[in-house]
Amino acid sequence: MSPSGLLRGACRTTLISLLLVCCLLPPGAQGQKFPLRVEPQNPVLPAGGSFLVNCSTDCPNPKLITLETSLPKKPVGNGLGWAAFQLSSVTSDSQVLCSGFCDGFQMTASSDITVYRFPERVELAPLPRWQPVGENLTLRCQVAGGAPRTNLTVVLLRGEEELSRQPAVGEPAEATVTVLAGRDDHLANFSCRTELDLRSRGLGLFQNSSAPRQLRTFGFWGPILNLSESSASEGTKVTVTCAAGARVQVTLDGVPAAAPGQPAQLQLIATERDDRRNFSCNATLEVDREILHRNRSVQLRVLYGPKIDQAKCPQRLTWKDRTTNVLRCQARGNPDPELHCFQEGSRNEVPVGIPFTVMLNYSGTYSCRAVSSRGTYTVTVVMNVQGRNARAVTIVMVVLVTLGLVTTTAALVYVFGLQKRSDIYQVNQGSTWLPLTSRQPEEAVGEGPS
């Protein structure tokens, strides 16, 4: 087939389509003039129920009016321009579609079905057995089921007072609110309620409530644990006091107060060891044959120092030239002292606690000084830096001295021996005027080893 042939074919198809549209439009337009109705329109129904759907039209000669739905349906009647169906087991939201023909033109119409159901469970989580007054209490409500969720609200209540109102979100939905428990909350009833508001859909406001839970509160007024000074100077007197309300027995650091309702007290002269010492107070109260207790703790700070522990700061150090070393020295005190070590004379500083390379000029005496607002404490450190070849020099020196001694000794022994031989010779000659010179080497030999 030639391309022109193809083109001609395409033109013919278009022409036929146009003709079809021209000839069929009038009856179709007429069909559209008579819409299909679905009744009820967008109904809201209780879950599991059944209802009647009526598809109707004013078309004079309608055909094949039917209902499309995923729900079980049963035709219950029809007449001119209508057909009715019974739908059952409506458990979830769905859509139904009516369709039919009017003058050969299809008509359709739909209706959205919304299902509502009450929550299966509305429950307030258990409350603590005893709630301390002045502490936060968290109420937690769980809601299982309930639809449509967009119209479901959770309300948390104290008696009839609304504490919070929240949309139900999640399955199960959880709503929480935190309230500060007060003295008035003792024996108050807390509960939670759901509200399914379908008033805008022509239905009512449906409420479901949880079982109420009664709160029991207890108050201690504390216990209040006090220090006469939270930061005491070393050597000063500190008083620790613990007090609580009437009927409350307090125990301070294990020592009980004389009687319930009485404060417990403790006195001490602050020493360095008391810095950061914790004092704890345990308050107990008997309510309804139940012992309730609560504790508090407080920390004492003692101002002292500065001090340097001799054990934590070696006073004699021997290091080799050009090696890396750390000068370990620690100071303590409150407030924390600053520690610096300076070479006496040069006033050059050496780092403390961090590695550094020593050189011969580091040899010397150092003043390590801890300074804080409470004074100064000094420790003297002697640092001895040895040259790298010191050992080699010592060995050479020893060898040289030994060699020297051996040589001298050998030389003297030789000279002495020569002199002895001369003596004999001279004696044989009968001469007596040389004995003093012959003694000199003898004395030298005697001195040699000393």
Ligand X SMILES: *[C@@H]1O[C@H](CO)[C@@H](O)[C@H](O)[C@H]1NC(C)=O
In the complex, which residues of this chain contact ligand X (CB under 6 A)? 54, 56, 77, 82, 84, 118, 135-136, 148, 150-151, 159, 178, 180, 187-189, 197, 200, 206-208, 212, 214, 224, 226, 241, 243, 263, 276-278, 280, 282, 284, 291, 293, 295, 297, 299, 343, 346, 348, 350, 359, 361-362
Pair of tokens at residue 253: 């650091």
Pair of tokens at residue 105: 């033109």
Answer for the pair 235, 304: CB distance below 8 angstroms, yes or no. Answer: no
Give the shortest CB-331-to-ligand X separation in angstroms.
20
Give the shortest CB-49-to-ligand X separation in angstroms.
14
The Cα-based distances of 93 to 9, 47, 109, 150 in angstroms read 50, 9, 17, 13
Give the shortest CB-3-to-ligand X separation in angstroms.
58
Q: How far is residue 128's CA from residue 229's CA, in Å, rounded to a whole number? A: 37
CB nearer to ligand X: pick between 217 and 372: 217
Pair of tokens at residue 383: 């640092």
Residue 283 CB coordination number (10 Å): 27
Give the shortest CB-70-to-ligand X separation in angstroms.
21
Give the shortest CB-153-to-ligand X separation in angstroms.
8
Give the shortest CB-134-to-ligand X separation in angstroms.
6
Give the shortest CB-373-to-ligand X separation in angstroms.
23
CB nearer to ligand X: pick between 368 and 441: 368
CB nearer to ligand X: pick between 118 and 416: 118
Residue 254 identity (one-letter amino acid): G
CB nearer to ligand X: pick between 142 and 241: 241
Q: How far is residue 93's CA from residue 253's CA, in Å, rounded to a whole number? A: 66
Q: How far is residue 77's CA from residue 89's CA, in Å, rounded to a whole number? A: 20
Query: How do the residues of the chain divide into helix, strand and coil, expressed in percent and rounded to 5?
Result: 25, 50, 30
**What is the DSSP-derived secondary structure letter of residue 6?**
H
CB nearer to ligand X: pick between 72 and 212: 212
Kind of pairing, strands 231-233 and 290-308? parallel
Residue 252 identity (one-letter amino acid): L
Give the shortest CB-328-to-ligand X separation in angstroms.
17
> By three-state DSSP, how is residue 315 classified?
coil
CB nearer to ligand X: pick between 185 and 423: 185
Give the shortest CB-92-to-ligand X separation in angstroms.
15
Answer for the pair 164, 153: CB distance below 8 angstroms, yes or no. Answer: no
CB nearer to ligand X: pick between 301 and 423: 301
CB nearer to ligand X: pick between 241 and 372: 241
For residue 102, report the phi and psi dihedrals to the nearest 5 degrees: -125, 115
Kind of pairing, strands 217-218 and 131-132? parallel
Give the shortest CB-346-to-ligand X separation in angstroms.
5
- List of residues 6+ apart from 26 with CB closer than 8 A: none
Pair of tokens at residue 34: 């008579």
The Cα-based distances of 387 to 111, 192, 314, 321 in angstroms read 103, 86, 21, 5
Residue 253 CB coordination number (10 Å): 15
CB nearer to ligand X: pick between 66 and 409: 66
CB nearer to ligand X: pick between 207 and 426: 207
